[in-house]
Amino acid sequence: MMQRHPVNDTRFIDGMMSIRATRSIGLVALLLVVTPVLGDDAASLSSWNDTASKRAIVEFVARVTTEGGAEFVPPEERIAVFDNDGTLWCEQPMYFQLLFALDRVHALADQQPEWQDQQPFAAVLANDREKLAALGHADLGAIMAATHAGMTTDEFDAIVREWFQTARHPIYDRPYTELVYQPMLELLDYLRAHGFQTYIVSGGGVDFIRSFADEVYGIPPEQVIGSSGLTHFELRDGVPVLIKTAEIGSIDDGPGKPANIELHIGRRPLMAFGNSDGDLQMLQWTTAGEGPRFGLIVHHTDAEREFAYDRESHIGKLDAALDEAATRGWTVVDMQADWGTVFSEESN
Amino acid sequence: MMQRHPVNDTRFIDGMMSIRATRSIGLVALLLVVTPVLGDDAASLSSWNDTASKRAIVEFVARVTTEGGAEFVPPEERIAVFDNDGTLWCEQPMYFQLLFALDRVHALADQQPEWQDQQPFAAVLANDREKLAALGHADLGAIMAATHAGMTTDEFDAIVREWFQTARHPIYDRPYTELVYQPMLELLDYLRAHGFQTYIVSGGGVDFIRSFADEVYGIPPEQVIGSSGLTHFELRDGVPVLIKTAEIGSIDDGPGKPANIELHIGRRPLMAFGNSDGDLQMLQWTTAGEGPRFGLIVHHTDAEREFAYDRESHIGKLDAALDEAATRGWTVVDMQADWGTVFSEESN
C-alpha cells in the first residue's frame, strides 16, 4: 500500500546534505562534437552525439508515429514522462529545492528570532557545515515545513519566482534555471513536434516546479506532477484562498510515481525518462505496457562537465535501476559520450 | 485543513439511498422549441432556448476569445471545469456509481457466501428497501470498499466498462451513458471549439468516470479529476500492477474541489459549472480570479422531463450555492425554461 508520511518523512530530500566532492569544474573540456545526424527528422537533437542512445530515441519515435505503420500510436496516447532532478536539470550538490529552503530560512530569520538558538535553524543561519551535514530527516522536515507551508498558494508562487530571479548555484554561479540539460530541452521539443504530451513526474514539489517549467521546459502547469502538501481552502474577508499546510499529500517518488501517473494522467505512458532508483517503478510501469514502449536512464558519467555518480551516491542513487536497464532493454545515456553539450550557453 | 477520511467517510455518497419520488416520467412533455439563435457562433447550442442563460454563456465566450479585445484570454488559460453528477448527467434516484456498487454486490455474492448473513450486504442481496434506506455512512463505506478495492486498476476498468455496456437505469430503463444532458454535451463541444480545455471535477471516483468520459463527453482521462483511493504498486511475477486499496486518497467535493484543481491543473479556471453546494467552493475559487470569470449552476427545476430538487434534497442539495449565485453574479440555469431538450435521443 502506498503509505502516508508525516512531513518529517523526507525521502524526497534524503541525503541532500551529502555533498559529493568528485566534481571538478572542467568547463574547459567542452566538447563541440559536430555529429552526422540521422536525417532531417533528428536535426533538432543537435546536442546529442550520433551514438546508440540518440539512434534508439529517433528509431522509437519513428516506429510509433509513422502513419500506416504496424506500431502507429495515435497522438492522444503519446505520453512521455520525465523525472526532473538529475534528468532534466542538475541535482548536485543537493536538490535545488533544498537550497531554496535553506535560503528561505535566512530570509525569514528576522521574523523568527527564536531560530538563532533553535536547531536545525541555528545551524542553517550559522552556515555550520558540520552540523548541516549531520541533519536528520526530522530536521530537514522541519526546514521544509517552515519554508513551504503557512502561506497561500499564490504567495508561495511569488516567493519561488522571485528566488529564481536572484539566486545563483553555489558551484556554477549561474541562475538555477540555466542548469537544465540542453540535450533534454531538445528532446522535449522533438517529442512535442512528434505529437507527444511531455509530463514531468518528479519527487520535487509540484508548485515549486511549476514556477519555472512552462518558461524553461515548455511544460504547462497541468502537465507537472510532483510531491505535494495538502492545501486548506478558506475565505478571507470573502476572498477564497488555498493555504499550504505542512501535511504531506503525496510523495511522488519510487512506487508513488506510477500511482500518481495513474491518478493524474490515467493512461500508461509510451516513454519514460529518469536517472535514479527513484524512477525505477515509473520505468517498470511504463515499459510493461502493451505494444512499443521506451525507457531511458540518464547516467551521470561526466565529472568534467557535470558530475559522475551512480551506485554509491546519496543523491540520485542509481543502482537497481541500472541493473534492470540491462534486463528490460532500457536505453542508458552515457552523458560523457552521448551528449555534445550538457548545459545551454555553456560558455557563460 | 483538508482532512483525510477513512473509507467509511462517505460524504461523496451521502444520501444516495434517499430516493425522491417527486419525478413523473413525463417524456411526453418533450418541448421541441425552435429557438432563434444568437448568431452562427451559437448555432451549435441548439438544445438551449434563447434565454438569458444561453446569452450569458455566448457573450462571455465572445469576450474572452475575441482577438484584440480588452478581455482576450490566450487559449492555454481557457480552462473550464465541470462537476459531473447532476451537472453533466443525471444523479437521481441516486448517484450512478452507487447503483454500480449495489450491482457489484449482487455479482460478487457467489464468491462471498458470508454476505448472506452479514449487513449491509444481506440487505443489498435481499433488495430490502427499508434496510437499504436506513444504511449509514459505515455501511455505505463497506459497500464501496468491497466493490472498488482489492483489484488492479486494469481489472476495475474492465469491470466498469462491462457494467456500462449492460446496466440500465432503474427508472428510465436506458443505459446510464444515455442519461447525459444534451445541452451540456453541446456546451462542451462549443467551448472546445473556442479553444477551451474542458475538465471534469467530480465527487465521483476518477477511474469510474474515465471509463466513459472520453467516449461520451469527449473528455480524455488526463482531464478527469475526481475522488480517489490510494493505489499500491507491486510486481506480480515481474509484471508491475497498481492495486486499488480501500484507503481514501482524496474526496473531491466541497473545499476538496479547488484544492484538487490546484493540484492537478495548477491554473485557476476561467469558467466553472456545477449544480449543488458541493460545487460552491469550486465556483467561489474560479470566479474570484482576476479578469473575466464565469460561474454557472444547473438548477433542477423540471419534474416532468427530469427531476425537481434543490434546498431540501438529500442528493445534490442546492442551498448555499443558490443564495451565493445571486450575490456573486453566477448564471443559474432553469432546466425547464432554458433547455429545449434534456437528454439526447429523448424519444428512445
More confident residue, A344 or B282: B282
Q: Is the dihedral angle over the CA atoms B110, B113, B117, B121 positive or is it negative?
A: negative
- pLDDT at position B39, please? 61
Q: Taking 60 as the threshold, does the pLDDT of residue B38 lie above it?
A: no
CB of A239 within 8 Å of a chain B CB? The answer is: yes
Q: Using CB atoms, which residue from A2, A240, A259 is nearest to B258?
A: A240
Is the backbone peptide bond immediately before B120 cis, with ω within 30 degrees of 0?
yes
Q: Where are the alpha helices (DSSP H) in chain A?
A: 52-65, 96-108, 121-125, 129-133, 137-148, 153-166, 182-193, 206-217, 256-264, 280-287, 320-328, 335-338
- For A153, which residue in chain B has the nearest alpha carbon? B262
Backbone angles phi, psi at B133, to 5 degrees: -65, -20
- pLDDT, mean over chain A: 89
Mean pLDDT per block of 10 residues along chain A (348 residues) reads 37 37 33 44 91 98 96 98 98 96 97 96 93 88 96 98 97 97 98 98 98 98 98 96 97 98 98 98 98 98 98 96 97 98 72
CA B324-B328-B332 angle, 5° bins:
70
Residues of chain A with C-beta less than 8 angstroms from the C-beta of B264: 222, 264
Q: What are the pLDDT digits (tens) for B119-143? A: 999 999 999 988 888 888 899 999 9
Nearest-by-CA chain A residue for B157: A266
Q: Quickly tell me which residue has 531554496 as its cell.
A: A100
Percent of chain B with pLDDT over 90: 83
Candidates B78, B222, B284: best to mutate against A (most CBs of A within 10 A) is B222
Mean pLDDT of B113-117: 96
Q: How do beta strands B294-301 and B308-309 pair? A: antiparallel
CB contact, 8 Å: A266 with chain B? yes
Q: Does A236 touch chain B (CB under 8 A)?
A: no
Contacts of B288 in chain A (CB under 8 A): 239-240
Tell if the CB–CB gap between B231 and A76 is shorter than 8 Å: no
pLDDT digits (tens, 9 = 90+) for B172-210: 999 999 999 999 999 999 999 999 999 999 999 999 999
Looking at CA atoms only, how far is residue B151 from chain A in angstroms?
A: 13
Task: Give B42's pLDDT tier (boundaries 50, 70, 90).
Answer: confident
Comparing C-alpha atoms, which of A12, A296, A16, A32 is closest to residue A182? A32
Q: What is the per-residue pLDDT for A40? A: 64
pTM for the complete prediction? 0.89
Instruction: Establish if B240 touches chain A: CB-CB under 8 angstroms.
Output: yes
Determine whether the interchain pair A284/B235 forms a contact, defined as Cβ–Cβ distance below 8 Å. Answer: yes
pLDDT at residue B121, rounded to an integer? 97
Q: Which of B293, B287, B289 is nearest to B321 (CA)?
A: B287
Return residues 132-161 of B near A (CB < 8 Å). Answer: 153
Taking 70 as the threshold, does the pLDDT of residue B93 lie above it? yes
Count CB pairs under 8 A between chains A and B.
Answer: 101
Distances (CA, A) of A217 to A119, A164, A213, B21: 37, 15, 5, 55
Residue A159: which residues within 8 A CB-CB, separation 6 or more?
Answer: A104, A151
Strand partners, A197: A79
Q: Does A93 sit behind a cis peptide bond, omega within 30 degrees of 0 on the bond before it? A: yes
Query: By the 8 A CB rule, do B257 and B282 touch?
Result: yes
Measured between CB atoms, does A232 come within 8 Å of chain B?
Answer: yes
Inform me whether the C-beta atom of residue B221 falls under 8 Å from chain A C-beta atoms. Answer: yes
User: Quick one: pLDDT at residue A38?
Assistant: 54
Each residue's pLDDT tens digit, B219-262: 999 999 999 999 999 999 999 999 999 999 999 999 999 999 99
CA dihedral for B254, B257, B260, B266, sign (positive or negative): negative
Which of A153, A208, A263, A277 would you mutate first to test chain B, the one with the most B CBs within 10 A? A263
Q: List CB contacts (< 8 A) between B5 and chain A.
A: none
Q: What is the ipTM of this complex?
A: 0.89
- Per-residue pLDDT at B129: 86
Nearest by CB: B284 against A206, A221, A240: A240
Please indicate whether, in this complex, the C-beta atoms of A221 and B265 are within 8 angstroms of each other.
yes
Q: Residue A327: its pLDDT value, please?
A: 95
